[in-house]
Amino acid sequence: MMAARIFYNLLQVIFVIAFAPLVEGVTTKLKENLQSKRGPSVFQPYRDLWKLFHKDEIISDYTSWVFRAAPYVAFAAPIFVALLIPVLTRYPLFFAFMGDMLGGGFILALGGFFATLAAVDTGNPYGPMGASRTRMVGFLAEPVFIVVFLTVSFVAGSTIPYIVQLRWVTPIANFFEPSHILLMSAFLMLILAEDGRIPVDSPSGAFELAMIERSKSLEYSGRGAALMKWAGAMKFLVLICIFLNVLVTPWGLAAGMEPLEVLIAIPLVLLKILGFVLVLVYIESSLAKLRLFRITEFLGAAFVISVVAMITRLSEI
Amino acid sequence: MSSSSMAVIFALDALAGAVFLLTTLGVVANRQVLASLQLFIAQSLLLACSAILLGIATNSLHLFAVAVITVATKTVLIPWVLRHTVSIEVYRTREIDRVLNIPSSLLIAAALVVLAYAVANPMLNAVHTPFAKINLPLGIAAMFLGVFTVVVRREAVPQLLGLLALENGVFFAGVAIVPDLPVIAELAAAVDVPVVALVVGMLTRRIHVRLGTTSVGRLVALRED
């Protein structure tokens, strides 16, 4: 029993590591298709990673250990979060009580913090600019995160994601609670901001002056670049898993301990992620990127929505 | 009606209420005139949804009439009137003229929602219909946000939409408190509101023709010398 729980926990990590580039590839492909372009193959991110891992790595002499350590920290952070959150199973696994949702948030923030430090560490002028912009988006997103987590844990009476996800569907009427719908919309806006998606940042932009998230890893080459790229894709997948499995649709997860059930959960979860990616691609293709100082309006709206969710919850409707 | 289907209707009404509040916040904080109009249409549709749900729950024909009248006037007639009286340029331009910037007006809007819940709580003791618990605070919140929109906007059409959002809020609270509201009251409002829209639309058109702008916030003197 114990062995199975440890094994499934590791399986979650392998799931996140293995499918993160695929999710990114599918997102890119669908987005290009929606804009009447052919787009790269969905397996292109794997090829990119393979290519980058076989290239030489060049590190500036003027950088410190932070620059060298950052890709590993950024790569490790989503892995640790994947141990804590429900990715494939409905019941808590071996490491699930090691940390709650706040712990997961802190670990993800640690990865982001190191990537930011590494960007400042280089002499490249675009790195620090992107870093300070990321911090700006980060500190605007922080209050939304706090209010969302507070409300979610208040509703469920727990900060462990496995307990929270059951609360929304037992009974099913809970799913339609106003606070639930409002929390979902606030968290969706957070994902868009956190992952640098279109109203906030353009993920495929190649213009350094307009970059927020992407300019932080410009200085990396070879293995460092591959790890940063992979880490970004994994962080995205982990955020989607938190959003879908904890907040929106806790269905399709394995309920029992049978290995077959857990294996069936893999395509089901991937299907859910595909649905989410379709929504995301639609949002990204129908909106324009906001100007930098309009991001406060976007995240301000997210904050107000989350506060309203909290109020409707506290006043017990 | 069985208690399980009652619970479903209750949940759906809560959902409609949540999205209703979201659209009202959109009317407050939106940047574009056309989007404001579309959000108002969505808000009216949600009001109609809530009226239908409450009509099913309380077996009240009046509420179905309210829903039909709301859809007819607020999602068809008023947008039509506004599109035909106000020139197209107003919808094309991005409206940026407002007293406060968007983040601070959103924060005040959040405070107003808190206030609405605080105000509604003692009132809920007096009302004994189950749906009032959802509709009353949200309706009051929409009323506050509508007034706030009129205060914070400086353009004529968004101000009008704030006024109409207020009116929607009144009905959103009203359908839950008084399920047997006489249809005549709703009909009177249904005639009133498009007339208000028409008058403001014509006025806006005049202002736009004379001044080249619909920013009524700049009209400070009664007459120019």
Which residues neighbour A5 within 8 Å (Cβ) at sequence distance 6 or greater?
A: A93, A94
What is the total count of domains within chain B? 1
In a domain, B34, yes or no: yes
In tens, the pLDDT along A116-132 reads 999 888 878 888 888 88
Which residues neighbour A252 within 8 Å (Cβ) at sequence distance 6 or greater?
A: A265, A268, A269, A271, A272
In this model, does residue B29 exceed pLDDT 90? no
Query: Could you give the 3-state DSSP secondary structure of residue A56?
Result: coil
In tens, the pLDDT along A242-255 reads 999 888 888 888 88
Q: How confident is the model at residue B96 (pLDDT cuts 50, 70, 90)?
A: low
Residues in chain A within 8 Å Cβ distance of B114:
311
In tens, the pLDDT along A18-32 reads 999 999 999 999 999
In tens, the pLDDT along B14-24 reads 889 889 999 99
Q: Is A91 exposed, middle or buried (0-12, 13-18, 19+ CB in 10 A)?
A: middle
Nearest of B168, B93, B176 to residue B129 by alpha carbon = B176
DSSP A256-303: SS-HHHHHHHHHHHHHHHHHHHHHHHHHHHHSPPPPGGGHHHHHHHHH
In this model, does residue B89 exceed pLDDT 80? no
Tokens of A89: 């199973």
In this model, does residue A317 exceed pLDDT 60? no
Tokens of A214: 């992407």
Q: Touching check for B6 and chain A: CB below 8 Å?
A: no
Q: Touching check for B124 and chain A: CB below 8 Å?
A: no
In this model, does residue A38 exceed pLDDT 60? yes
Q: Taking residues A41-53, report their average pLDDT.
A: 94
In this model, does residue B60 exceed pLDDT 70? yes
Q: Taking residues B36-42, report their average pLDDT.
A: 92
Nearest of A224, A222, A180 to residue A312 by alpha carbon = A180
Which residues neighbour A250 within 8 Å (Cβ) at sequence distance 6 or greater?
A: A86, A90, A165, A166, A168, A169
In a domain, B15, yes or no: yes
Residues 8-47 of B with CB under 8 A from A: 8, 10-12, 14-15, 17-19, 21-22, 25, 29, 31
Our CA dihedral for B120, B125, B127, B128, rounded to 10 degrees, sits at 130
Q: How far apart are the C-alpha atoms of B213 and A167, rounded to whole Å?
A: 52
What pLDDT score does A235 carry? 93
Residue of A nearest to B137 (CA): A312
β-sheet bridge partners, residue B147: none
Cβ–Cβ gap B134/A178 under 8 Å: yes
Report the percent of chain A where pLDDT is more than 90: 38
What pLDDT score does A99 carry? 82
Q: How confident is the model at residue A274 (pLDDT cuts 50, 70, 90)?
A: very high
In this model, does residue A50 exceed pLDDT 90? yes
Q: Which domain holds residue B59?
A: 3-218
Give just the sign of the alpha carbon dihedral A17, A18, A19, A20.
Answer: positive
Residue of A nearest to B110 (CA): A304
Which residues neighbour B106 within 8 Å (Cβ) at sequence distance 6 or greater?
A: A297, A300, A301, A303, A304, B25, B28, B29
Residues in chain A within 8 Å Cβ distance of B42:
none
Query: Could you give the 3-state DSSP secondary structure of residue A193?
Result: helix
Q: Is B2 exposed, middle or buried (0-12, 13-18, 19+ CB in 10 A)?
A: exposed
Q: Report the range out of A94-108, A161-175, B90-104, B136-150 with the highest average pLDDT.
A: B136-150
Nearest of A181, A205, A199 to residue A296 by alpha carbon = A199
What pLDDT score does A223 carry? 92
Which of B11, B18, B107 comes nearest A304 by C-beta? B107
In a domain, B147, yes or no: yes
Q: Which residue has the higher pLDDT, A205 or A75?
A: A75
Tokens of B114: 């808190």
Q: Which residue has the higher pLDDT, B220 or A217?
A: A217
Q: How confident is the model at residue B224 (pLDDT cuts 50, 70, 90)?
A: low
**What does residue B155 show for φ and ψ, rounded to 5 degrees?**
-100, 150
Residue A212: CA atoms inside 13 Å, Cβ hemisphere, count? 25
In a domain, B188, yes or no: yes
Q: Is A157 exposed, middle or buried (0-12, 13-18, 19+ CB in 10 A)?
A: exposed
Q: Can you give the pTM of this predicted structure?
A: 0.88
Q: What does pLDDT average to over chain A?
A: 88
**What does residue A49 show for φ and ψ, rounded to 5 degrees?**
-60, -45
Q: Which residue has the higher pLDDT, A53 or B214?
A: A53
What is the ipTM, given to two decimal places? 0.80
What pLDDT score does B211 carry? 72
Residue of B nearest to A172 (CA): B8
On whether the CB atoms of residues A241 and A161 are closer than 8 A, the answer is no
What pLDDT score does A315 carry? 72
In tens, the pLDDT along B69-81 reads 889 888 998 888 8
H-helix or E-strand spanning residue B142 = helix B132-152
Q: Which residue has the higher pLDDT, A187 or B6?
A: A187
DSSP letter (8 states) at residue A87: S
Q: If DSSP states are collapsed to H, E and C, what string results for B32-96?
A: EHHHHHHHHHHHHHHHHHHHHHHHHHHCCHHHHHHHHHHHHHHHHHHHHHHHHHCCHHHHHCECC
Helix axes B183-211, B61-70, angle to 10 degrees: 10
What pLDDT score does A33 carry? 92
What pLDDT score does A311 carry? 84
What pLDDT score does A213 carry? 79
What pLDDT score does B44 carry? 93
Q: Touching check for A169 and chain B: CB below 8 Å?
A: no
Q: How confident is the model at residue A280 (pLDDT cuts 50, 70, 90)?
A: very high
Q: How confident is the model at residue A316 (pLDDT cuts 50, 70, 90)?
A: low
What pLDDT score does A249 carry? 80
Cβ–Cβ gap B22/A305 under 8 Å: yes
What pLDDT score does A54 carry? 94
Q: Touching check for A267 and chain B: CB below 8 Å?
A: no
In chain A, domain spans: 2-314
Least confident segment among A67-76, B41-50, B54-63: B54-63
Residue of B nearest to A183 (CA): B18
Q: How confident is the model at residue A215 (pLDDT cuts 50, 70, 90)?
A: confident
In this model, does residue B217 exceed pLDDT 90? no
On whether the CB atoms of residues A96 and A84 are closer than 8 A, the answer is yes
Q: Reply yes or no: is the peptide bond before residue B79 cis, omega within 30 of 0.
A: no
Q: Touching check for A173 and chain B: CB below 8 Å?
A: yes
On whether the CB atoms of residues A13 and A96 are closer than 8 A, the answer is no
Nearest of A285, A288, A277 to residue A34 by alpha carbon = A285
Report the percent of chain B where pLDDT is more than 90: 19
Distance from CA of A32 to the nearest CA of B (A): 27
Q: Touching check for A182 and chain B: CB below 8 Å?
A: yes
In this model, does residue B145 exceed pLDDT 90? yes
What pLDDT score does A96 carry? 81
In this model, does residue B115 exceed pLDDT 80? yes
Q: How far apart are the C-alpha atoms of A191 and A112, rounded to whole Å?
A: 14
Longest distance between any two alpha carbons in chain A, whole Å: 60
